[in-house]
A = this chain, B = another copy of it.
């Protein structure tokens, strides 16, 4: 099954306690597609400006990402500038320049209109809806991400899109905000009632929780002594998750639980270096080793 992702492609400038990088590749579609590519074929829809270095395009190509939906528009690439303190769970945005991303109207090429799995990255909920309008037959799974900005400022549009999707990836603070409910379990239940039967709550260094109907699955984050750059962790998680589901080819609870672990493993690699750097040197053997270690981290023998 192919995974289609629509989202942002950015040049990020970052400061973390471990260092500084300027104009490194970022954006939800970039992290998602790279992460998913370790498990499945990926199709990407997004826009970059004239200044976007060809080497980053070539990297995505080298990961097998189908770039038929990548547009290069006149102007500059979307830029995000952020800083992380020692509490790496929270990014402090220093500057955002939408540039060509401000005019982004996602258009699916003909070859992209029958995705099996669709991921609507964090863009305006109306644009997410526009993507849904363009798919010819209902994908087996439509998932979306969103953020505080849309929850606060475009709630109505967001609720409309939410009602059309099967799954929401959202962080805990945003889930609370969206549901107007402090308890995260209740918040997830409230979001399910808004449309998506499945909700994944991302809790940064504390891991993730998957709600699927009545079922709940919880996975801790992989314990890392050094998180170099948390940028893209959430999108890498979603990419690993959707990529794994695509590889397995079914939507059983068994697969979705494993997908949480696959996503967690991929996200844990992402944050070990700046930007996409860890993904550049990641191989299947390293992924398999971390998946095995994750079982050792979380499993226990039955208590009689």
Contacts and interface: CB of A to CB of B under 8 A. Distances in A.
Interface of A: 86-87, 182-186, 189, 203, 205-207, 209, 216-220, 223-227, 244, 254, 257-258, 260-262, 291, 295, 297-303
Interface centre among A185, A260, A300, by most B CB within 10 Å? A300
Contact of A220 (B189, B218, B226, B258): B218
A162 B219 CA distance: 31
23 contacts: A86-B182, A183-B227, A184-B205, A186-B225, A189-B225, A203-B206, A207-B218, A207-B220, A216-B223, A217-B297, A217-B298, A218-B223, A218-B297, A219-B220, A219-B298, A244-B303, A254-B300, A257-B301, A258-B303, A261-B303, A262-B303, A291-B303, A295-B302
B220 A220 contact: yes
Contacts of A224: 183, 185
Contacts of A223: 185, 209, 216, 218
A262 to B, nearest CB: 7
Contacts of A225: 183, 185-186, 189
Contacts of A205: 184
Number of copies: 2
Contact of A182 (B87, B183, B207): B87
A239 to B, nearest CB: 16
Contacts of A260: 300
A216 B297 contact: yes
A258 to B, nearest CB: 5
